[in-house]
């Protein structure tokens, strides 16, 4: 069920008031109608995150062109064509193969695309991403001319144990700092750490997140029967 317009604006303003300097809100609008997104837009929100490629493509065509669209879903190389021409940031590049796929798609589109490398710090085996040790020995990326690695993305374990969640976020932040001092020491653009969703973003902010991905706390619950296939 869609929230009343005033509630969406209220939620946007409440969350933004909690963000420290240097942190930004990505409003996760997957499976939400364009009317809800426009209400968030009228409240001043410009960063939106989508999980499904065709939904992102369709919303981009219908909504204001100054929106900064982030793709935050699981990356599928065959679907890059739907959003590579306009996406501002891809959050979940979880393998070298996918990094090369994004580079190739961006080259065809004639642009350089900003990406985050997804690191697997959670306890569940189902989470995607590089193992931390893989990123510690990341090969030279100089040959990739159409992607720009701007930081890391991480998801915490799915648990109510705050100490476990904090430990996951802390591990991602520690790795981010090490990479910033080593492999990406000469890259001014390596500065984003995307961590935290509706249920755990305060802990993520305490552990240094610069991008929080919040959906249900803004727009309300989603109807997953509307998921595009």
Q: What is the pLDDT of residues 105-152, one digit of tens each?
A: 999 999 999 999 999 998 876 668 999 999 999 888 878 999 999 999
Q: Of 20-29, 134-143, 162-171, where does mean pLDDT reach its minimum?
A: 134-143
Helix (H) or strand (E) holding 106: helix 96-109
pLDDT at site 1: 46
- Report whether pLDDT(219) > 90: yes
Q: What is the mean pLDDT of residues 81-108?
A: 97
pLDDT at site 142: 79
Number of domains in the chain: 1
pLDDT at site 228: 75
The per-residue pLDDT for range 180-206, each reduced to its tens digit, is: 999 999 999 999 999 999 999 999 999
Flag whether 226 is in a domain. no
Q: What is the mean pLDDT of residues 174-183?
A: 96
Q: Residue 95 is part of a domain; what is its CATH number?
A: 3.20.20.10
Q: Give the start-end residues of each E strand in 20-112.
A: 24-28, 47-50, 68-71, 89-93
Flag whether 229 is in a domain. no
% of residues, the chain, pLDDT over 70: 96
Residues 49/29, Cβ–Cβ less than 8 Å: yes
- Enter the pTM of the model: 0.94
- Report whether pLDDT(208) > 70: yes
pLDDT at site 88: 98
pLDDT at site 39: 96
Flag whether 227 is in a domain. no
Range of 47's domain?
Answer: 5-220
Neighbour tally for 31: CB within 10 Å: 20
Flag whether 78 is in a domain. yes
Flag whether 207 is in a domain. yes
pLDDT at site 132: 94
Please report, for residues 129, 174, 181, the alpha-carbon distance to residue 94 in angstroms, rounded to integers and kept in the order given: 4, 18, 21
pLDDT band at 222 (very low <50, low <70, confident <90, very high): confident
- Report whether pLDDT(177) > 80: yes
Flag whether 76 is in a domain. yes
pLDDT at site 2: 54
Residues 112/146, Cβ–Cβ less than 8 Å: yes
Q: What is the mean pLDDT of residues 173-178?
A: 97
């Amino acid at each position: 069920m869609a929230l009343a317009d005033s509630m969406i604006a209220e939620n946007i303003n409440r969350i933004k008031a909690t963000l420290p300097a240097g942190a930004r809100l990505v409003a996760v609008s997957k499976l939400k109608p364009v009317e809800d997104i426009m209400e968030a837009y009228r409240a001043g929100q410009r960063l939106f995150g989508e999980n499904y490629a065709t939904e992102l493509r369709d919303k981009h065509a219908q909504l204001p062109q100054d929106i900064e669209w982030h793709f935050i879903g699981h990356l599928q190389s065959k679907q890059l064509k739907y959003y590579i021409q306009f996406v501002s940031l891809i959050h979940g590049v979880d393998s070298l193969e996918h990094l090369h796929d994004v580079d190739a798609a961006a080259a065809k589109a004639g642009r350089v695309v900003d990406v985050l490398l997804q690191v697997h710090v959670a306890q569940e085996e189902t989470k995607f991403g590089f193992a931390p040790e893989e990123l510690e020995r990341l090969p030279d990326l100089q040959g990739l001319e159409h992607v720009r690695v701007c930081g890391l993305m991480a998801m915490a374990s799915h648990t109510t144990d705050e100490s476990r969640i904090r430990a996951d976020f802390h591990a991602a932040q520690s790795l981010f700092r090490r990479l910033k001092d080593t492999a990406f020491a000469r890259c001014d653009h390596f500065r984003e750490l995307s961590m935290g969703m509706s249920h755990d973003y305060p802990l993520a902010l305490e552990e240094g997140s610069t991008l929080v991905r919040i959906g249900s706390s803004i727009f309300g619950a989603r109807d997953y029967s509307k998921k595009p296939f």
